[in-house]
Amino acid sequence: MNLTEHLFLDSFFKIFDARLDITGIVKDTVYGTLKWEDEDDEQDIKWTKSFKDSDIELLTKLCDFLLQNKLTRGDKIDVTEDLLFEKLLANDWTIEKAKKAIESLMDLEVRMLDDGKETDSFYIHF
């Protein structure tokens, strides 16, 4: 796992108010445990890299943008896709980068593991 992937996972899980402790890496798959502040709950996860590093950098920037502008509630983006696109363009994103970042975020899925079995996913949606 490289720094780009690590920064992305940190940024993505901040949307869920969680912190990821990486427990293992096998080829392009990252395993870890999510922890929430002031909660005893933990959730094991598995993420298999399916994006190029340049796309992961865009995903990180988009997650950071969503957080900084308070545009999410849980796993839901609080504005329409069109409005998010407009906000990105107004903040000096190119059309291509904004489209690619939103498309990548909609395709992103981090699997939840319960007792070693994939049971659900973390993802962001409109």
pLDDT digits (tens, 9 = 90+) for 93-124: 999 999 999 999 999 999 999 999 999 999 99
Kindly report the number of other CB atoms within 10 A of residue 119's CB atom.
Answer: 12
Residue 125: Cβ within 10 Å count = 9
CA distance 85 to 75: 18
The reported pLDDT for the residue numbered 1 is 77
CA distance 35 to 40: 8
**Given a cut of 90, is residue 16 above it in pLDDT?**
yes
| Strands, sheet with 117-122, edge to edge from the N-terminal-most edge strand | 18-26, 29-36, 42-48, 110-114, 117-122
Structural domain harbouring 52: 3-122
Are 73 and 17 spatial neighbours (Cβ–Cβ below 8 Å)? no
Residue 125 DSSP code? B
112, containing H or E segment: strand 110-114
Q: If you average pLDDT over every residue of the chain, what do you get?
A: 96
In the prediction, which pLDDT does 2 show?
Answer: 87
The pLDDT of 49-59, averaged and rounded, is 94
Is the pLDDT at 68 greater than 80, yes or no? Answer: yes
User: Could you tell me the pLDDT band of residue 38, with boundaries at 50, 70 and 90?
Assistant: confident
Cα torsion 50, 53, 95, 70: sign:
positive
Q: Residue 75 pLDDT > 90, yes or no?
A: yes
The count of structural domains within the chain is 1
